[in-house]
Amino acid sequence: MISIFTSSFGTTFQAVFQILLIALAAGILIRRNILTQEELKAISALGVRVLLPCLIFTNIIINFEPSKLKIWPIIPLSAVLMVGIGLLFAAILFWPNIREKKYLFAPAALQNAGYLILPLVKFLYPHQFDEYAMYTFLYLLGISPLLWSLGKYLVSSLPGEKPTIEGLFTPPFIANIAAILIVLLKLKPFIPAVVINSADLLGTAAVPVATFVLGAVLGSISFSIKSYVADVVKVLAVRLVLVPVVTILILLITGLYKNYPLLCNLLVLQSSSSPATALILQVKHYGGKEQQLGSILLLSYIACIITIPFWLAVWLAITA
């Protein structure tokens, strides 16, 4: 068990470290003004509106086989459950100042389910990337609407403002829904191969662009936690410790890993992932506590160099 743990930890640590090195390079470009915020916004828009939807669409069309993955609805539901676990722990830790601290619920409960996880599985499991990516996109189907409704409400809402459904139908979400419907309705034969191949070609650029954007966003964050260290500790405790522990316990109790080991590996990675970088973009655009949220995100990404390898190694050692 110890050898499995050390081997898994070392491999995952190297993968996370490689991703953050790329992110560091992108951050330096932002800090040195070699890349402007306007240019970053354009690159991010290209990734979100074109490249990632193409990757999602082609991966689901090519690899998603409902007859072989009958439990597929559980995957988006697991995303909702994981967010709920994070919100519950955040409510407990920030009681009775829930209204004042509600912006901290978002980084505690809503993780980076795509821009960090996709490059990570690309490094860790290059030969099984398509299957892991398919699971990731099904997972995004559950978390994406929550990120752009509940997440925005928590970090950017004015007093008395209620969540809305505006912003739910992002290009990645639409691509996900469209691809799943095409597969379920057995319409794939009616899509010309040239369309799928062209979209697949564009989709290959999604992961490196996503990694670059992640680093550039983090690189633009200023860091200061002196006045709210306790809040940072609580958020990191929920996001990087409590949620992974509960996720591992649920997977062990259900025995899901016996028939779907790759899916369970992904769920452990998702549970230990850092907060979604989209949260800082929401604050920049809609307003909110940018300094506090940005500092938490930056610190969490540094911490995940250790926590992600640790929890995946624990999981693989337990289930070996």
Q: Are 62 and 126 in contact (CB under 8 A)?
A: no
Q: Look at residue 265 in the predicted model and tell me its pLDDT.
A: 94
Q: Are 235 and 296 in contact (CB under 8 A)?
A: yes
Q: Are 248 and 318 in contact (CB under 8 A)?
A: yes
Q: Look at residue 158 in the predicted model and tell me its pLDDT.
A: 57
Q: What's the rounded mean pLDDT across residues 61-90?
A: 93
pLDDT tens-digit series, residues 17-46: 877 787 778 888 888 888 888 888 888 888
pLDDT bucket at 13, cuts 50 / 70 / 90? confident
pLDDT bucket at 223, cuts 50 / 70 / 90? low
Q: What's the rounded mean pLDDT across residues 232-250?
A: 95
pLDDT over 80 (residue 253): yes
Q: Look at residue 30 in the predicted model and tell me its pLDDT.
A: 81
Mean pLDDT of all residues in the chain?
Answer: 86
pLDDT over 70 (residue 70): yes
Share of the chain above pLDDT 70, in %: 92
CA distance 301 to 272: 11
Total domain count for the chain? 1
CA distance 119 to 12: 12
Residue 297, domain extent: 2-318
Q: Look at residue 238 in the predicted model and tell me its pLDDT.
A: 96
- For 265, the 3-state DSSP assignment is helix
CA distances, 167 to each of 33, 80, 123 (Å) = 30, 18, 31
Q: What's the rounded mean pLDDT across residues 168-181?
A: 85
Cis peptide before 96 (omega within 30 of 0): yes
Q: Look at residue 151 in the predicted model and tell me its pLDDT.
A: 86
The torsion angles phi and psi of 275, rounded to 5 degrees, stand at -60, 155
Q: What is the 3-state secondary structure (H, E, C) of 167-204?
A: CCCCHHHHHHHHHHHHHHCCCHHHCCHHHHHHHHHHHC
What share of residues in the chain are helix, strand, coil (percent, to 5)? 75, 0, 20
Q: Are 231 and 307 in contact (CB under 8 A)?
A: no
Q: Look at residue 211 in the predicted model and tell me its pLDDT.
A: 78
CA distance 264 to 278: 25
CATH of the domain at 196: 1.20.1530
Q: Look at residue 58 in the predicted model and tell me its pLDDT.
A: 93
